[in-house]
């Protein structure tokens, strides 16, 4: 039997000296303690060797900077390893990780069914720094970032920045967008029973306005003319709140056009200079404009649309009016991805959240958030409630009996010789593109404007047709040329130099035609000649012989065939006395051909219909032959 006593066991350090010693009690369990100590020493030694090999493998700063997303897991066995104690990866310094713990986060996101990313967490948890890093990793994509705070992370990331007041969209270009943006900007629930009338009033008042001054005059006039108290309440609500949206400076230049013309891969839109209502209103207008252009065709590069504090837009749902984020989240997969960040998981309703295949959730103790996460899996809820700072889980990546968690350290590698130091990522100088925007306004679309103005003097065209001409003559990519043509036409229409009309073709498709305004004396004549030529060609293609095409001065039907007279109407006339006179004198059945179904259904032309007189679009004309 051994005597009682104490012995010291020494462990050699990797330098060959003594690293430390430990005292053991020789009584009872001495041998087992020695074996345990030796096992621990060998495990520490192996860990050091693994860390050393990993450091040697990641010897360049670039490789180290990419290794900033860590991963580990929490065991689901609640009895043996409760979730609030179940960390299996230590939280010490970043570089002390074996390589198998490094996640390629871009590949992780791109491997999902869609690349939509939803990040949520309370202030200070690190969601903005995480989004900043994720955006930096997405090279090869174009990126548009919406930011609302004056000192946000995105403003310090080195990306080009545009002050929103320099690129304001024209709110009166799209009445649906204007009405929806107003409805979600202000809490209509506070208006009571008059709330349902507000959107319809907004739309009616905005129709026909070219700016805020005209809109305000329309509101004041309606208030003077209205006696109903409920309607007056709605009108006063509009009058009060619209004052915060009144910005006179607009550029009429789309975001995609700016990216193309300025050759930018990334653009941060800074809304911090606006009041809270204007931030929501103009952000929604931008998103709707962006979404309309994305749906118009394929692009060489996919686009990441990143919206910080997305709850500003999604919390304003009223009836059928909601943020276009709903539609973008569902349909953007083929043209890019939508990334949003909010403070709470429940800030986005379940129908929107479900469209994000990546959902990075930082610690939260919100009851609504935890209930929503519990519906996915109770372990997700338990885990999120116990996360340390800067740790998060992917709520859409529960696998088997494990919940994986991630951590992000906002530090970069500084390499000096063979020494590696981790330092806080420095803020890059802010770069506002104000000077470039001024140059764009003065020079960018000069040649395109000249081509369009010249074309308007003698003919009618649609945007894609003109884009092909611009692309061929100026050597611009056709997609970029289309954006530039749309911008130019938009500005010419707003300035009164051009007008637009929807034209339904015989194949069932429709295009928007641009033509010179009547003020120039040629608007209706060029449009009228275009339609006559189009119908003549159409009749010849379907084998109907054309007997006569009237000259402008002849008091005859525009087109005569062996069996029918065709009157070509643009729908721009205020009076149709001359047309009614020709119909009365006609010896053959008459077909009035108009550009679209809305004009065909108008009272002006329906009043002329009879047994021998009908109204048709180009498509209906084909059906009747």
- pLDDT tens by residue, 597-611: 888 888 888 888 888
User: Which of residues 74 and 558 earns the better pLDDT score?
Assistant: 558
Q: What is the CATH number of the domain that holds 292?
A: 3.40.50.300
Residues forming a β-bridge with 44: none
> Which H/E stretch holds residue 452?
helix 446-456
Residue 203 dihedral angles phi and psi, to the nearest 5°: -65, -45
Residue 141 lies inside a defined structural domain of this protein: yes
Residue 209 lies inside a defined structural domain of this protein: yes
User: Which of residues 377 and 222 earns the better pLDDT score?
Assistant: 222
Are 280 and 383 members of one domain?
yes
Give yes or no for a contact between 403 and 379, defined as CB atoms under 8 angstroms apart: yes
pLDDT, residue 356, reads 95
Q: How many CA atoms lie within 13 A of 301 on its CB side?
A: 18
Closest-CA residue to 325 (of 346, 301, 297, 306): 306
pLDDT, residue 146, reads 96
The length of the chain in residues reads: 625
- State the Cα–Cα distance between residues 73 and 405, nearest whole angstrom: 6
In the chain, the number of structural domains is 4
Are 526 and 615 members of one domain?
yes
In this structure, what token pair is assigned to residue 339? 């990334």
Are 481 and 544 members of one domain?
no
Are 285 and 392 members of one domain?
yes
- State the Cα–Cα distance between residues 307 and 146, nearest whole angstrom: 5
Are 357 and 454 members of one domain?
no
Q: Is the pLDDT of residue 113 over 50?
A: yes
Q: Using the 8-state DSSP alphabet, how is residue 568 labeled?
A: E
Q: Which residue has the tokens 């309309």?
A: 292
Q: Using the 8-state DSSP alphabet, how is residue 428 labeled?
A: P
Closest-CA residue to 167 (of 431, 430, 429, 441): 441
488 by DSSP, 3-state: which?
helix
- State the Cα–Cα distance between residues 35 and 20, nearest whole angstrom: 17
Quote the strand ranges of 478-527, DSSP E.
498-504, 510-516
User: Contacts from 59-68 at CB under 8 Å and sequence distance 24+?
Assistant: 60/415, 61/412, 61/413, 61/414, 61/415, 64/95, 64/413, 64/415, 64/420, 65/412, 65/413, 66/104, 66/137, 67/94, 67/97, 67/102, 68/94, 68/133, 68/408, 68/409, 68/410, 68/411
Residue 371 lies inside a defined structural domain of this protein: yes
User: Which of residues 194 and 620 earns the better pLDDT score?
Assistant: 620
Average pLDDT over residues 452-471: 86
In this structure, what token pair is assigned to residue 112? 């999902």
pLDDT, residue 268, reads 94
Q: Which residues contact 133 (CB under 8 A, 6 or more apart)?
A: 68, 408, 410
Average pLDDT over residues 127-143: 88
- State the Cα–Cα distance between residues 436 and 124, nearest whole angstrom: 34
Distance between alpha carbon 305 and the CA centroid of its chain, in Å? 4
In this structure, what token pair is assigned to residue 103? 């996640």
The highest-confidence range among 49-58, 79-88, 162-171, by mean pLDDT, is: 162-171
pLDDT, residue 400, reads 60
Residue 91 lies inside a defined structural domain of this protein: no
73 by DSSP, 3-state: which?
strand
Residue 446 lies inside a defined structural domain of this protein: yes
In the structure, how many helices (H) and strands (E) does the chain have?
24, 23
pLDDT, residue 518, reads 59
Work out the percent of the chain whose per-residue pLDDT is above 90. Answer: 15
User: Which of residues 189 and 285 earns the better pLDDT score?
Assistant: 285
Are 154 and 199 members of one domain?
no
Residue 19 dihedral angles phi and psi, to the nearest 5°: -85, -30
Boundary residue ending a domain (519, 545, 573): 519
pLDDT, residue 358, reads 92
Q: Which residue has the tokens 């209509």?
A: 188
- State the Cα–Cα distance between residues 159 and 362, nearest whole angstrom: 25
In the structure, what pLDDT confidence band is assigned to residue 191 with cuts at 50, 70 and 90?
A: low
Q: Is the dihedral of CA 549, 553, 556, 557 positive or negative?
A: positive
Boundary residue ending a domain (343, 378, 402): 402
Quote the strand ranges of 464-573, DSSP E.
498-504, 510-516, 546-549, 559-561, 565-568
pLDDT, residue 87, reads 32
Residue 412 lies inside a defined structural domain of this protein: no
Are 323 and 287 members of one domain?
yes
Are 474 and 573 members of one domain?
no
Boundary residue ending a domain (380, 402, 424): 402
> Which H/E stretch holds residue 525?
helix 523-541
In this structure, what token pair is assigned to residue 364? 């939260």
Using CB atoms within 10 A of its CB, is residue 90 exposed (0-12), middle (13-18) or buried (19+)?
exposed
Are 154 and 290 members of one domain?
yes
Are 257 and 368 members of one domain?
yes
Residue 36 lies inside a defined structural domain of this protein: no
Q: What is the CATH number of the domain that holds 597?
A: 3.40.91
Q: Which residues contact 487 (CB under 8 A, 6 or more apart)?
A: 252, 253, 254, 257, 445
Q: Is the pLDDT of residue 413 over 80?
A: no
Residue 248 dihedral angles phi and psi, to the nearest 5°: -80, -20
Are 596 and 475 members of one domain?
no
Average pLDDT, the chain: 77
Are 189 and 329 members of one domain?
no
In the structure, what pLDDT confidence band is assigned to residue 95 with cuts at 50, 70 and 90?
A: very low
Q: Which residues contact 602 (CB under 8 A, 6 or more apart)?
A: 571
Q: Using the 8-state DSSP alphabet, how is residue 196 labeled?
A: T
Give yes or no for a contact between 115 and 109, defined as CB atoms under 8 angstroms apart: yes
Residue 525 dihedral angles phi and psi, to the nearest 5°: -65, -40
Give yes or no for a contact between 152 and 135, defined as CB atoms under 8 angstroms apart: no
Per-residue pLDDT tens digits for 296-351: 766 778 999 999 999 999 887 777 888 999 999 999 998 999 999 999 999 998 88
Q: Domain range spanning residue 510?
A: 434-519
Residue 184 lies inside a defined structural domain of this protein: yes
pLDDT, residue 390, reads 77
539 by DSSP, 3-state: which?
helix
Q: How many CA atoms lie within 13 A of 216 on its CB side?
A: 12
């Amino acid at each position: 039997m051994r005597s009682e006593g104490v012995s010291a066991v020494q462990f050699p350090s990797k330098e060959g000296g003594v690293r430390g010693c430990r005292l053991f009690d020789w009584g009872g369990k001495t041998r087992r303690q020695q074996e345990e100590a030796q096992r621990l020493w060998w495990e520490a030694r192996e860990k050091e060797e693994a860390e050393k090999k990993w450091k040697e493998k990641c010897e360049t700063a670039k490789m180290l900077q990419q290794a900033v997303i860590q991963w580990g897991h929490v065991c689901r066995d609640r009895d043996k390893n409760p979730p609030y104690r179940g960390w299996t990866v230590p939280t010490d310094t970043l570089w002390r990780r074996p390589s198998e713990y490094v996640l390629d986060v871009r590949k992780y996101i791109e491997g999902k069914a869609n690349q939509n990313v939803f990040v949520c967490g309370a202030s200070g948890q690190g969601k903005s720094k995480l989004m900043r890093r994720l955006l930096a990793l997405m090279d090869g994509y174009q990126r548009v970032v919406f930011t609302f705070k004056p000192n946000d992370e995105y403003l310090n990331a080195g990306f080009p920045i545009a002050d929103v007041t320099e690129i304001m969209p024209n709110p009166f270009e799209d009445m649906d967008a204007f009405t929806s943006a107003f409805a979600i900007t202000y809490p209509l629930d506070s208006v009571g029973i008059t709330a349902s009338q507000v959107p319809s009033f907004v739309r009616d008042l905005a129709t026909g306005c070219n700016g805020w001054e005209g809109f305000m005059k329309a509101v004041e006039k309606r208030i003077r003319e209205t006696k109903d108290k409920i309607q007056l309440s709605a009108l006063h609500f509009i009058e009060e709140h619209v004052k915060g949206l009144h910005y006179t400076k607009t550029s009429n230049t789309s975001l995609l056009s700016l990216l193309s013309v300025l050759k930018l891969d990334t653009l941060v839109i800074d809304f911090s200079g606006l009041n809270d209502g204007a931030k929501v209103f103009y952000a929604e207008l931008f998103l709707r404009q962006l979404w309309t252009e994305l749906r118009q065709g394929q692009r060489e590069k996919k686009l990441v649309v990143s919206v910080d504090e997305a709850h500003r837009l999604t919390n304003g749902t009223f009836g059928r009016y909601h943020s276009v984020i709903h539609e973008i989240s569902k349909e953007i997969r083929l043209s890019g991805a939508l990334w949003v960040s909010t403070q709470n998981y429940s800030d986005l309703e379940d129908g929107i959240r479900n469209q994000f295949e990546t959902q990075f959730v930082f610690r939260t103790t919100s009851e609504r958030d935890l209930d929503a996460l519990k519906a996915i899996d109770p372990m997700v809820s338990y885990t999120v409630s116990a996360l340390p700072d800067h740790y998060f889980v992917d709520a859409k990546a529960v696998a088997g009996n494990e919940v994986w968690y991630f951590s992000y350290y906002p530090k970069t590698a500084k390499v000096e010789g063979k020494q590696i130091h981790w330092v806080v990522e420095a803020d890059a100088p802010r770069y506002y593109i104000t000077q470039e925007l001024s140059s764009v306004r003065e020079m960018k679309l000069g040649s395109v404007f000249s081509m369009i103005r010249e074309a308007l003097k003698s003919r009618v065209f649609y945007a894609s047709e003109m884009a092909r001409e611009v692309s061929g003559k100026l050597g611009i990519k056709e997609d970029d040329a289309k954006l530039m043509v749309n911008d130019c036409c938009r500005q010419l229409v707003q300035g009164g130099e051009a007008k637009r009309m929807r034209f339904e073709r015989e194949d069932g498709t429709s295009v928007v035609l641009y033509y010179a305004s009547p003020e120039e004396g040629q608007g209706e004549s060029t449009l009228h000649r275009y339609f006559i030529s189009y119908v003549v060609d159409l009749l010849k293609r379907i084998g109907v012989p054309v007997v006569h095409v009237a000259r402008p001065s002849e008091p005859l039907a525009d087109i005569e065939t062996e069996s029918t007279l065709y009157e070509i109407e643009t729908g721009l006339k205020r009076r149709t006395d001359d047309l009614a006179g020709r119909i009365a004198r006609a010896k053959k059945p008459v077909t009035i051909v108009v550009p679209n179904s809305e004009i065909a259904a108008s009272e002006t032309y329906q009043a002329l219909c009879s047994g021998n007189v009908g109204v048709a679009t180009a498509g209906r004309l084909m059906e009747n032959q």
